Structure 1
Amino acid sequence: MSNKNIDKIHDNTSNSETNDILDSPITENEIQQALSTQHNGKSSGPDQIPAEIIKASYTFIRS
């Protein structure tokens, strides 16, 4: 007997290749891409640090 809801859950589980990608270290390029998509003048996230501050101090923060 098959349950469609359970089959959906199993279809959404990750495989070892996906796990390897997600467990790999964040690259410099990924950080730069994320920073470039942040819009200035928007409200900050839960850390309360505006994007402008993170962008302006990135070279200092990364070292």
Structure 2
Amino acid sequence: MNDMSNKNIDKIHDNTSNSETNDILDSPITENEIQQALSTQHNGKSSGPDQIPAEIIKASYTFIRS
């Protein structure tokens, strides 16, 4: 049983982030990242929890970003 626990702990440690990953995750979101995310959104799909369809966000992006 102890051997199995150690193997699972090793898997957890393999998934921990390093300082480089932390720096990337802590950096501000860029406009390019936002544009890339918007370009992957498909029209005609159900909206998320905010109930705003992707078409509205895409169409009003220039207004929203300012």
Q: TM-score, normalised by structure 2?
A: 0.91
Q: How many residues align?
A: 63
* CA displacement 1:8-45 (0-9 Å, x = unmatched): 00010000100000010000110000000000000001
Give the structure with the higher percent helix.
2
Q: 2:13 — aligned with what?
A: 10
Q: TM-score, normalised by structure 1?
A: 0.95
- Identity of matched residues, %: 100
Structure 2 residues without counterparts, runs of 5 or longer: none
Q: Which is greater in Rg?
A: 2
Structure 1 residues without counterparts, runs of 5 or longer: none
